[in-house]
Chain A
């Protein structure tokens, strides 16, 4: 049960039940669709840039609690970041979820550190990373991503 609580932390459960920025976006400067063909999850991520800065980011779609919470917390984390900062944050987040808890908490991830439990559960890594791959595609003006091509 401890490992289970580690994975499904209260913050994650809260964001999965009440996802933030869960909406379509009028006048988005970029959007992309992400798919996980293995489980049927699908999410659309919208971004609005002003210059190089992410002014707004939102998502719509259906997925498990890990992917929904990851998308929700990602939208909060990315607002106000430059494109380069967003991609750098994704790199650090990805490192967190693909390594075990044993390797220690990642630096300066803030609230996103709650996803460390995913590193102990390799089959769920794609759930957590899908929204990030999708926002990266939206920021780069690419339309679609799939967990099976990343």
Chain B
């Protein structure tokens, strides 16, 4: 968790933040919405909604195509978003930023291009137990195709990766390491810098799944040293269908293209096609133009609010929520890592998460129930499912209180 000063915490005006999110005025089953499902997808501030609207209302056209004015304006705005993402991730060059649909597509791209060209029979890909399915299945598909082996670093009872085991599992055959920055099901913050160093000592490149990292932590890919970093716009208050793959230029240059089509080519004849330069080589077809521009607005939004200030606010809520939830008899938190961000995953004795989710819904409280696309995590803890409250920049202590009240109601309905 970020070490922000108390002074900054006091300056954070959550009421003003809430004003910026139009959806927070809505009601659900007649109750004010308490949105605690940000890890699934975050809500959008007005500036993001307006940015997307403005594209369609005033300057929409295809990008990198026409000579006409609208195409120029759309291209400029689209490329400005790339510059914002570059600065946001502290990447060296804009061409290291590839726009895709989201984290899932980014991981698949790396598996299908870098992975397919570098991983062979008998080689190994190393992941961890706490990965989201989107950072498991693309590697499984690759390993099946190549006759390679998927190795999995275990986690302890708190939900932290066993770093000794992780290091032992790195072998001379390890061709790729893929690790979540923050676990979506448990909230664990992985020590990614240390893990990257370990992997690099063995000559293995590292992809960081940053889907849950970017909304809660300041990301510096240069300092982290990772080779690839992927994230989704919709989890950081931007639109869905617009996400990012960062890759070190040397690796991206050497990788074969993924999808073929328009935009990604330099010239096409039936005898031979030459590919476009980075980043366009990996952006075949017309992209989510307005979505990417609105993602740029989302990055402006969190940057203006202050990443440290958001992290400090969420840290305070997480500590408050942890105390409040653990005081409920029969409630057990799942995921108690020392370094944690944004997630309160839990089970209630004798009550199924779906029943909890339904009762909370009637109280206007949105949480996620189920396996959170992380079935190996559930299996590790011997649970079919958990209930997960996940925090964002606009949540308040009062909303945590509402959650606690809702859980008492759950126990009232199902108790005895």
The chain A residues found within 8 Å of chain B, CB to CB, are 1, 3-4, 7-8, 13, 16-17, 38-42, 62-66, 121, 124, 127
Contact = CB atoms under 8 A, between A and B. Distances in A.
B359 A66 contact: no
A7 B358 CA distance: 10
A59 B127 CA distance: 38
Interface string B356-394: 001100100000011100010010000111000000000
Contacts of A40: 370-371, 375, 378, 383-385
Given A64-B355, A124-B358, A4 B385 contact: no
A8 B351 CA distance: 13
Contacts of B351: 65
Interface of B: 29, 351-355, 358-359, 362, 369-371, 375, 378, 383-385, 413-414
B355 A39 contact: no
A4 B410 CA distance: 11
Contacts of A124: 354, 358
Contacts of B370: 38-40
B358 A121 contact: yes
B362 A64 contact: no
Nearest to B371: A40
Q: Which of A39, A42, A62 lies at the interface centre, i.e. has the most chain B CB atoms within 10 A of its CB?
A: A39
Contacts, number: 48
A15 to B, nearest CB: 13
17 contacts: A3-B29, A4-B359, A4-B362, A13-B413, A17-B414, A39-B353, A39-B384, A40-B370, A40-B371, A40-B378, A41-B384, A65-B351, A65-B352, A65-B355, A65-B414, A66-B354, A121-B358
A9 B362 CA distance: 15
B358 A63 contact: no
Contacts of B355: 8, 64-66
A1 B362 contact: yes
A42 B371 CA distance: 14
Given A17-B414, A39-B385, 20 more contacts: A3-B29, A4-B359, A7-B358, A8-B355, A8-B413, A13-B413, A39-B353, A39-B371, A39-B384, A40-B370, A40-B371, A40-B383, A40-B384, A62-B384, A63-B352, A64-B353, A64-B355, A65-B352, A121-B358, A124-B358
A43 B6 CA distance: 51
B352 A64 contact: yes
B384 A3 contact: no
A13 B410 CA distance: 12
A64 B351 CA distance: 7
Contacts of B383: 40
A1 B378 CA distance: 31
B343 to A, nearest CB: 19
